[in-house]
Homo-oligomer: A and B are copies of this chain.
Amino acid sequence: MKLEKLVGERFKERPADCVINSHAFFLRGGYMKGVANGIYSSFLPLKRITHKIEEIIRQEMDALDGQEVQLPVVLPASLWEESGRYQSVGAELMRFSDRNGSPLVLGMTHEEAAVQLVREYGQSYGRYPFFIYQIQTKFRDEARPRGGMIRVREFTMKDGYSFHTSEQDLEAFYARCLEAYERIFQRVGLPEVISVASDSGMMGGGVSHEFMLLTPVGEDTVVLCPECGYRANMEAAVCRMENNRDEVSAPLEAVYTPNIHTIEDVCEFLHSPQEKSCKAVVYQREDDNSVFVLFLRGDLEVNEARLNAYLGCGIRPAVITPETGLHPGYIGPVGLPDSIPMLLDRSLCGANNLSCGGNREEYHYVGLDMAREFPNAEYHDFAKAKEGGLCPVCGKPALQIRRGIEVGNIFQLGDKYTRSMGMQYLDQNGEAQYPIMGCYGIGVGRLAASVCEARHDDYGPIWPVSIAPWQLHLCCMRADDSAAHDCADRFYEELQKAGVEVLYDDRKVSAGVMFSDADLLGIPFRLIVSPRNLKNGVCEFSARDKSFSEQLPLDEAVRLVTGRIREALA
């Protein structure tokens, strides 16, 4: 391919709305163009990158005996009604109707469609286990698309679905798939991606993992314990805070606290640290709209995913009406109206000398002693992990909080979908059973952008050769010099014959333009032909990552370059 003919514009200025590097480089390098909020078109360089990523994924899925299928982008709403997700999933599920008024959705994940595809096939135990996957366009009507390819509305995803007759079989396959994922990230050039335990969220089911590229620009939060290796995403992370119980418990005492509502204000007024306060957060259950109060240590935040999982239903911040008997800003566990259930976070267990709301206007309590006031209370883990928090596995106060990009996820789904959609098989005894499922996703475009986030310098991406749009960037400096141009033309032809993917720049442009374009395109190897080097019978071979730069004899160049690239690909 000649660079002169490459469709797409490259430019110098970082667009104002680009917060992260991959977004900026993908626009500046002619990789993609915005079409609408969170919707992009791709030019050839990005298309070539994603093709290669898809081929690596395909190979690894086939190695797991995966069978590639294709499920529809546009799905009848009835399938999502069967699973119950037509109701339970929010506005990110794009809903519309066809010309006959039949309700449709755009697939944002395909558990329902996968079950529909194999519902008849999977009627006999002898056919299990099996694993289908696809690589396909999905649409999720994100409220806030951002970061270029990192969070888009339309995206290409590999999603796979495995079907099993036992938990052990699912777990064994799940472990193999986890390893395949690690190989995929390794092969695309991101060996540093880690798997973390995660919350299943809208997918349902039990065990699940996310694959995270740790980076300050990530939008997900990961909890790590460097002491024992514990890893979880924030939603799934358990955090046991230390409760510093003072030796002497002060008596419970009401304090007049006019116009003081927030934890910050209360603690400042009382000259006491937030760790010594008891914070109230009021929610409403989504199933029956009933109001309840969660109490936790004042310096902590609620992990709503864990709270959801504990309750088995959705929640939302409560609308506090006078009928509840609650006094916003003054809510505490002592004297809470009987009609209002309360939940207690483990961070309060055994704590004393706490401040808390007085359950009447303009009054707080000090001297709250949980063990004394609530001797029979139950405590659960509802708080978000905090830097320095106690690791739930090794118990050391070592938790670290990091940002990450989620580049893949795998879920053990159990029988949520097969049961709701009536997929059954007859087991050895002729009894009907619900198969159990796993599902396995990787966002292709997000993965490409993540590689760029992890592998770039100030001037552009540094693509690993396994997914680079081309393997070699051939530059002819001074294309007006016929000897140089002839030599570069010959290299172009011979290298292509040798099977090297060459992007050839023989434009009559300055060295500055030529190299800044080359940096933006990020091709890992570069071969430069120039009149000056020609005089010495050499050309210059270098790496985009600056790991080497050497002069090659002209008549050896094709052989040496080809060998080097083959080696890098191996």
Which A positions have Cβ atoms within 8 angstroms of B? 5-9, 30, 33, 35-37, 39-44, 46-48, 50-51, 65, 67-76, 79, 91-92, 94, 96-99, 102, 104, 106, 113, 116-118, 120-121, 127, 130, 132, 136-137, 139, 141, 143, 153-154, 156
Contacts and interface: CB of A to CB of B under 8 A. Distances in A.
Given A37-B102, A96-B96, A98-B141, 5 more contacts: A7-B127, A35-B113, A36-B102, A51-B68, A91-B99
Most chain B Cβ neighbours within 10 Å, of A9, A136, A156: A9
B44 A67 contact: yes
Contact of A39 (B7, B76, B92): B76
B40 A72 contact: yes
B143 A99 contact: yes
What 10 pairs between A and B have smallest CB-CB spacing? A96-B96, A36-B76, A42-B70, A91-B99, A44-B67, A41-B117, A39-B72, A41-B71, A47-B68, A99-B141
A46 B65 CA distance: 17
Nearest to A43: B69
A362 B157 CA distance: 68
A67 B7 contact: yes
A223 to B, nearest CB: 31
Contacts of A96: 94, 96-97
Contacts of A102: 36-37
A350 to B, nearest CB: 46
Contact of A70 (B9, B47, B70, B153): B47
Most chain B Cβ neighbours within 10 Å, of A35, A48, A127: A35
A5 B73 CA distance: 26
A74 B43 contact: no
A73 B40 CA distance: 10
A480 to B, nearest CB: 16
10 contacts: A36-B74, A39-B72, A41-B69, A41-B71, A41-B113, A47-B68, A73-B139, A74-B139, A74-B153, A92-B99
B117 A43 contact: yes
A99 to B, nearest CB: 4
Contacts of A137: 73, 136-137
B154 A74 contact: yes
B72 A41 contact: yes
Given A116-B35, A137-B137, A143-B99, A7 B121 contact: yes
A74 B42 CA distance: 14
A5 B99 contact: no
A37 B78 CA distance: 13
B72 A7 contact: no
A357 to B, nearest CB: 37
A76 B141 CA distance: 13
Most chain B Cβ neighbours within 10 Å, of A39, A97, A116, A143: A39
A476 to B, nearest CB: 18
Contacts of A39: 72, 74-76
A120 to B, nearest CB: 6
A33 B74 contact: no
Contacts of A143: 99
A6 B127 CA distance: 9
A156 B51 CA distance: 17
Contacts of A7: 67, 69, 118, 121, 127, 130, 132
B113 A5 contact: no
A130 B46 CA distance: 18
Contacts of A6: 67
Contacts of A51: 68
A146 B361 CA distance: 70
A102 B94 CA distance: 12
A220 B5 CA distance: 39
A368 B104 CA distance: 57
A483 to B, nearest CB: 25
Contacts of A48: 68
Nearest to A120: B9
Contact of A75 (B33, B35, B67, B73): B35
B44 A69 contact: yes
A5 B154 CA distance: 33
Contacts of A76: 35-36, 39
A154 B69 contact: no
A75 B36 contact: yes
